[in-house]
Amino acid sequence: MDTVMRLERRGHVLEMMLDRPKANAIDAATSRQMAAAVREFRDDPELRVAILTGAGRFFSAGWDLKAAAAGESDDADYGEGGFGGITENWGLNKPMIAAVNGYAAGGGFELALACDIIVASTSATFMLSEVNVGVVATGGGIIRLPHRIPYGLAMEMLYTGRPMPAEEALRVGLVNRVVEPEGLMDAARALADDIVTSSPLSVQATKSILRDAEGRSVSEAYEAQEKNAEHARLRNSEDFKEGPRAFAEKRAPQWKAR
């Protein structure tokens, strides 16, 4: 198939653009391409943050219903990490930013929810419309949305499929920024650059600990934190010593991610 993932490296940041006209819908083959891009990001020690966006008017319309109508099942091989390479990627400890440029519907919205931070264009719209076509938001929508916005509002969206415009998404805390379309990537890049200045191993340990602690009591979360492998990796690293040393010497730290 044609290449639908446009990748651009910008220092320690990988920009990933889904470009599959007209609506950036995702069939199994597209998902496997996305999974390969995410794997490249995960495995390259020089890459610290990724930005996921879409080309055109759609961030992504989600699952390709034309492919489904032609016989592709929802348990097809979507590649490592689940749908889009990220919805079930439990080993991805590097942060991802969703730069939502337009419609994020169904599985497209679930991709944004699987990212750590969402920046939205004023033209962005979010919806989980699965119930309107007789399926269920099993790509993480049911699980993640109630943790990102008030529970009752999440239930309304899940039960009715009603869309949420960007300004409402900002008001309820779903997105971090809403900017004019021409400033979307600049806003996402600014956030990515802020993250890059932080210790990469600290950021990765933070994401991993958050995942391990989710749903646990405070005491259980502390225990999970102490047992976390990424936390142990950080504490045994050169960067763990570099941070305090740079502070004492009044200079910017030189992170090596080791």
CATH value at residue 75:
3.90.226.10
Residue 132 lies in a domain: yes
Crossing angle for the helix pair 107-114 and 141-148, to the nearest 10 degrees: 60
Query: Is residue 131 located within the same domain as residue 222?
Result: no
Residue 58 and residue 230: Cα distance in Å, rounded? 35
Q: How far apart are CA 69 and CA 95, in angstroms?
A: 34
Same domain (yes/no): 123, 212:
no
- Six token digits for residue 128: 């989980």
Catalytic residue numbers read: 110, 130
Domain count, the chain: 2
In a domain? residue 63 = yes
Q: Within this chain, do residues 185 and 139 fall inside the same structural domain, yes or no?
A: yes
Report pLDDT for 65. Answer: 75
Q: What is the pLDDT of residue 1?
A: 58
Is residue 229 domain-resident? yes
pLDDT tens across the length of the chain (258 residues)? 578 999 999 999 999 999 999 999 999 999 999 999 999 999 999 999 999 999 999 999 988 878 777 777 677 789 999 999 999 999 999 999 999 999 999 999 999 999 999 999 999 999 999 999 898 999 999 999 999 999 999 999 999 999 999 999 999 999 999 999 999 999 999 999 999 999 999 999 999 999 999 999 999 999 999 999 999 999 999 999 989 999 999 999 999 888
Cα angle 137-96-185, degrees, rounded to a multiple of 5? 105
Residue type at 182 in one-letter notation: E
Looking at the domain assignment, is residue 256 inside a domain?
Answer: no
Asked whether residue 149 is domain-assigned, the answer is yes
Query: Which of 198, 149, 141 shows the shortest CA–CA distance to 175?
Result: 149
Among 176, 196, 216, give the residue marking a domain's end.
Answer: 196
Give the structural domain span for 84: 5-196
User: Are 179 and 241 part of one and the same domain?
Assistant: no
Within the chain, what is the greatest distance between any pair of CA atoms? Answer: 64
In 114-244 the beta strands, taken as DSSP E runs, fall at 117-121, 125-127, 164-165, 177-179
Is residue 117 domain-shared with residue 230, that is, in the same domain?
no
Report the pLDDT value the prediction gives residue 67, as an integer from 0 to 100: 77
187 and 206 together in one domain: no
Same domain, 38 and 79: yes
The contacts found for 68-73 with CB under 8 angstroms, 24 or more apart, are 72/27, 72/28
Among the candidates 178, 196, 214, a domain finishes at 196
In terms of domains, do 183 and 207 share one?
A: no
User: Any residues with CB less than 8 A from the CB of 153 and at least 6 apart, and which?
Assistant: 172
Is there a single domain that holds both residue 224 and residue 180?
no
Which pLDDT score, from 0 to 100, does residue 64 have? 82
Q: What is the pTM of this model?
A: 0.94
Q: Domain check: are 145 and 208 in the same one?
A: no
Domain boundary among 161, 177, 196: 196
